[in-house]
Amino acid sequence: MSRRPYVRKVERSWWLAHPRYVAYMVREITSLFIVLYCALLVVGLVRLAQGPAAWEGFVAAVSSPVNVVFQLGCLAFATYHSVTWFAVTPKAMPLVLKGERVPSKTIVAAHYVAWAAVSLVVLVAVGN
Amino acid sequence: MSQTITIEVLRYRPETDAEPFFQTYTVPHLEDGVVLDALNYVKDHIDPTLSYRWSCHMAVCGSCGMMINGEPKLSCHAFLRDYGGRVIRVEPLDHFPIERDLVIVMESFIDKLSSVKPYVIPKAEKPIEQGEYLQTPLQLMAFKQYTQCINCLLCYAACPQIALNDDFVGPAALALAHRYNLDSRDGGKGERADVVASNQGIWECTFVGACSEVCPKHVDPAAAIQQTKISASLDWFKARLLPGAN
């Protein structure tokens, strides 16, 4: 008797089959907003290089209500990505110190401390 | 038979069926029974033509992986009582061709596993008279969790990248490659890199993380792959910035 293996099709809706796949797709799609925000920053740099008038125009544009909502969305998604990334850092970067594994909680906490420290430095730098 | 439970099993008999179909069986509901017991009951008392793989019945051999209500599980590890008397749907592992009923075709995995050379390749061969290749408990700790893999393929059934690209080397094979790369006795990392660090290797992984969620032995293949990405990137830079360093 000859073999006749049956290959099942992958449905286009495969990612709706389980909450873990939906969460993954949300991570993937929201990352697009991070790209868009980076593009906005690049545009800002270009306008800054073009002189005071161009910069004033850029500031006015990013202060519009629609743009503020967009930036708040980007901030929320960037925070979401930071939190989900910090949560998996012990997997990607396990540490062994003095023959003992550093607990996952410590590695995650160190990232939050570093995040707060860098944010503080940036805020102080902007304040000056 | 006081209490019963209904199971729906995906059947496929290549000599007669054009495509798979669900067959329903009613079996005794045992408080300490698992889905594998239900299948064994069907085979012994109702329908001897039902085909599926199993061996140890204790989550060690890795033979009895199946989709149980859509989740990849070892059927010897899936207790009937956890399904609250509801219908239990049993299918062959996702992302593999079906050979017959619940039996999948796993040649592709065997080829992928072989391709990463999952064995110790000594840094330098030494004659037997010089004794064993010794290892400290600390050196063992570096990779021990990855030795727990039983090749059950639940991670392949959970991984959407495997579904979308047949050629992806996949979680278990990459975790085992990492296991040997981390072994203090091993010097085969460079030989494995051609497959491991290729586009079909670690870089095809988008860190969905499903492999680690379904792993019955807590191997955490997703962690192994992310660690390999870091290590392979460092090796790539080292090879270009410090030629001759390795």
Are residues A57 and A104 located together in one domain of the fold? Answer: no
Write the burial class of residue B122 (CB in 10 Å: 0-12 exposed, 13-18 middle, 19+ buried). exposed
- Chain B interface, Cβ < 8 Å to A: 12, 14-15, 19-20, 70-71, 94, 97-99, 105, 138, 141-142, 160, 163-164, 206-210, 212-213, 220, 222-223, 226-227, 229-230
Q: Which positions 93-122 of A are in contact with B (Cβ < 8 Å)? A: 93-94, 96, 99, 101
Task: Report the distance separating Cα A74 and Cα A32, nearest Å.
Answer: 9
Q: Regarding beta strands B71-74 and B88-91, do their DSSP bridges make them parallel or antiparallel, or are they unpaired?
A: unpaired
Of B209, B164, B228, the residue nearest A27 (C-alpha):
B209
Domain for residue A4, yes or no?
A: no
Taking CA–CA distances from A13, the nearest residue in chain B reads: B160
Residue B72: phi and psi, rounded to 5, are -70, 125
Long-range Cβ contact pairs of A20-24 (< 8 A, separation 24 or more): A20/B208, A20/B209, A20/B210, A20/B213, A21/B160, A21/B208, A21/B210, A24/B160, A24/B206, A24/B208, A24/B209, A24/B210
> Inter-chain contact B226–A7, Cβ cutoff 8 Å?
no
Task: Report the distance separating Cα B108 and Cα B106, nearest Å.
Answer: 5
> Inter-chain contact B226–A5, Cβ cutoff 8 Å?
no
> Inter-chain contact A24–B160, Cβ cutoff 8 Å?
yes
Global pTM? 0.91
Taking CA–CA distances from B105, the nearest residue in chain A reads: A5
**Tokens 């392949």 appear where?**
B156
pLDDT tens for B182-229 read 999 999 999 999 999 999 999 999 999 999 999 999 999 999 999 999
Are residues A50 and A103 located together in one domain of the fold? Answer: no
> Residue A128 belongs to what domain range?
95-128
Q: How much is the pLDDT for A2? A: 81
Residues in chain B: 246
Q: Which positions 10-69 of A are in contact with B (Cβ < 8 Å)? A: 10, 14-15, 17-18, 20-21, 24, 28
Of B206, B221, B230, the residue nearest A24 (C-alpha):
B206
Q: Within 13 Å, how many C-alpha atoms sit on residue A89's CB side?
A: 19
Are residues A86 and A106 located together in one domain of the fold? Answer: no
Are residues A99 and A68 located together in one domain of the fold? Answer: no
User: Could you give the 3-state DSSP secondary structure of residue B117?
Assistant: coil
Say which of B142, B210, B223 has its CB closest to residue A20: B210
Domain spanning B4-104 has what CATH number? Answer: 3.10.20.30
Are residues A86 and A120 located together in one domain of the fold? Answer: no
pLDDT band at B1 (very low <50, low <70, confident <90, very high): very low
pLDDT band at B246 (very low <50, low <70, confident <90, very high): low
Q: Which residues pair with B68 in a beta bridge?
A: B71, B90
Task: Report the distance separating Cα B233 and Cα A30, nearest Å.
Answer: 26
Are residues A47 and A74 located together in one domain of the fold? Answer: yes
Domain for residue A2, yes or no?
A: no
pLDDT tens for B63-101 read 999 999 999 999 999 999 999 889 999 999 999 999 999
Compute CA distances B27 → A67, B36, B64, B72, whole Å: 61, 12, 19, 22
Q: How far is CA B170 from the centre of its chain?
A: 9
Q: How much is the pLDDT for B124? A: 87
Are residues A117 and A83 located together in one domain of the fold? Answer: no
Domain spans, chain B: 4-104, 107-241
Question: Are B88 and B7 in contact, with CB atoms under 8 Å apart?
Answer: yes
Say which of B97, B138, B160 has its CB closest to residue A14: B160
Q: In what helix (H) or strand (E) does residue B174 lie, and over which residues does it extend?
A: helix B171-181
Q: Regarding beta strands B88-91 and B4-11, do their DSSP bridges make them parallel or antiparallel, or are they unpaired?
A: parallel
Domain for residue A6, yes or no?
A: no
Question: Are B160 and A21 in contact, with CB atoms under 8 Å apart?
Answer: yes
Are residues A53 and A19 located together in one domain of the fold? Answer: yes
> Which positions in chain B touch A88 (Cβ < 8 Å)?
207, 209, 226
Are residues A15 and A78 located together in one domain of the fold? Answer: yes
**Number of domains into which chain A is organized:** 2
Are residues A47 and A65 located together in one domain of the fold? Answer: yes
What are the percentages of helix, strand and coil residues in chain B, rounded to 5?
40, 15, 45
What are the 10-residue block averages of pLDDT along chain A, 128 residues in total? 90 94 93 95 96 95 95 94 91 86 94 95 90
Of B144, B208, B133, the residue nearest B178 (C-alpha):
B144
Are residues A27 and A71 located together in one domain of the fold? Answer: yes
pLDDT band at B2 (very low <50, low <70, confident <90, very high): low
Domain for residue A118, yes or no?
A: yes
> Which positions in chain B touch A3 (Cβ < 8 Å)?
14, 99
> Inter-chain contact A88–B207, Cβ cutoff 8 Å?
yes
DSSP B37-95: HHHHHIIIII-TT-------SSSSS---EEEETTEEEEGGG-BGGGGTT--EEEEPPTT
Q: How much is the pLDDT for B159? A: 97
Residue B10 reports pLDDT greater than 90: yes
Domain spanning B107-241 has what CATH number? Answer: 1.10.1060.10
Are residues A42 and A19 located together in one domain of the fold? Answer: yes
B32-42: average pLDDT: 97
Question: Are B102 and B51 in contact, with CB atoms under 8 Å apart?
Answer: yes
